[in-house]
Structure 1
Amino acid sequence: MPVSRPDDPIPQTAAGLQALFINTSLKRDAGKSHTAKLMVMAETICSRAGADVTHVHLADYDVPNGVHADMREHGADTDDWPDLWNRVEAADILVIGTPIWLGQESSLCRTLVERLYAMSDTLNEKGQSIFYGMVGGAMITGNEDGLKHCASSILFALQHLGCTIPPQADCGWIGEAGPGPSFGDPQDTGPAAGFDSEFTQRNTTMMTWNLIHMARLLKEADGLPRYGNDRTAWSEGARFGLEQPHAVAN
């Protein structure tokens, strides 16, 4: 296959797909989020490839921590999660972005993972996890170590819930160790911090296209086959070839 040129048209592989990007920055002002600056690079690729893209700045919403679908039923005064969940449920692509704090993802990111986990008992029409057929990715920013640690934590959670994780489904940028500019901060000379990082540009692009490709494959295949993962059938006695091993005599 010939290598595409810069002026080649972008294939509309993502046409008809819903891509949801959730930014778990701790900044109340979405316009000041460094994580958002990185996420917009992937969002632009998705949009140019034909996807319907939605960006959620989680700090704009009241999402209490907990592992229930609606925390108002468990003592919270307010909970925006049920409305946000409608967007998640409709997504073919789910990307979680987070800054790094003390080597860890943000507290809002952990809250998001907990609230996603609260939906893990919800099943689709095949008796599978409601997350089956959805692909997941992670985007990380910071000026301290922890990029791969945060990505591994997020991607593990997503696959455990039922999302499909394509190859190279994470990207990010970190500056030099210690206090320094964050992604997109102005600099005295040259482009804004991180904008000239070949590593970040390449990984962001590859992650985004791999998410698109995997989402398209799942969409055209009507998700994953139900044999072997139909929880409804399991509860009714199906065992899909499982056989208990015989006891081994001493």
Structure 2
Amino acid sequence: MKAVFLNCSLKSSEEESNTDVFMKDVQAHYEKLGVESEIIRLADYYIAFGVEEDMEDGDEWPEILELVKDADILIIGTPLWLGEKSSIATQAIERLYGSSSVTNDKGQAIFYNKVGGAVITGNEDGAKHAASSLLYGLSHIGFVIPPNVDAYWVGEAGPGPSYGETGGNDFSKSAIQRLAYNTYHLANMLKENPIPAEGNTL
């Protein structure tokens, strides 16, 4: 089983990312479960704006999309900015949406029988708002969303210690475990019993 994390931090890999640290804590659970996983820092790539599957020369989204297509689980992670998911997270959802009319061999959207989840970090309110936006977007284009897959950590409002400095708390650690196990369990169920094509082909 494979999982792909899209880290939508505004920072490139040259800088520390609290979202990355959070994702690695999810990865630790996946490793115990035998799930192969990879974190992709989207800020390291040139991703064109738009909602088409193929955009312009130099656009690196298609290679990221291939990794998503090959995965059973997709986790989108974002920091909070002004109570919202990052602009890169919005762009990722838009580009995924650009492939929502592409079908699998049964005529379903290519994201059918894949499982989605969201992780959020920040020092301000907005985690549940960002999670609802991400999870609705994934569900709308065909991903299946298990219960309790909006794992997040928010510190005190304003400047202060971030997730990477605190290591989270009991609440965030429990949320991380639920996200990992619930995405894993549902992905296993869908491998054994995929959603039938009846009534949901494009």
How many Å separate the matches in 1 of 2:14 and 2:184?
26
* Paired amino acid for 1:135: V
Match of 1:37 in 2: 21
* Residue aligning to 2:131: 151
Given the alignment, which residue of 97, 121, 129 partners 2:101? 121
Does the 8 A contact of 1:30 with 1:36 survive in 2?
Answer: no
Q: What residue number does 1:65 align with?
A: 49
CA deviation after TM superposition for structure 1 residue 63, in Å? 0.6
- Taking the TM superposition and a 5 Å limit, the aligned residue runs for 1:187-226 are 193=166, 195-221=167-193, 223-226=194-197
> Does the C-alpha gap of structure 1 residues 31 and 213 become closer, same or farther in structure 2, counting only changes over 3 Å?
farther
Equivalent-residue separation in structure 1 for 2:14 and 2:73 (angstroms): 21
Q: Deviations over 1:12-52 (max 9, x none)?
A: xxxxx110011000012355001000010111111221111
Aligned length: 202
Amino acid at match of 1:201: K
Instruction: For 1:104 and 1:196, locate their aligned partners in 2 and report how far apart those are by CA, in whole Å.
Output: 20
The alignment's TM-score, normalised by the length of structure 2, stands at 0.97
1:182 shift after superposition: 1.4
Distance in 1 (CA, whole Å) between partners of 2:110 and 2:24 is 27
Tell whether the 8 Å contact from 1:30 to 1:57 is kept in structure 2 after alignment. no
Partner in structure 2 of residue 46 of structure 1? 30
Structure 1 runs of 4+ aligned residues shifted over 3 Å read: none
Please list the CA deviations of residues 179-198 of structure 1 after superposition, one character each: whole Å capped at 9, or x if unmatched: 2221112xxxxxxx2x2510
TM-score, scaled to structure 1: 0.79
In structure 1, list runs of 5 or more residues that go unmatched: 1-16, 186-192, 232-250
Q: Distance in 1 between matches of 2:4 and 2:114?
A: 11
Q: Percent identity?
A: 46
C-alpha contact 1:66 1:114 (8 A) present in aligned 2: yes
Q: Tell whether the 8 Å contact from 2:127 to 2:152 is kept in structure 1 after alignment.
A: yes
Larger helix share, 1 or 2: 2
3-state SS of paired residue (2:11): coil
Equivalents in 2 of 1:153, 1:47: separation in Å?
28
Higher RCO (C-alpha 8 Å, min separation 6): 2
What's the Cα RMSD here?
1.0
In structure 1, C-alpha distance between the alignment counterparts of 2:15 and 2:28, rounded to whole Å = 17
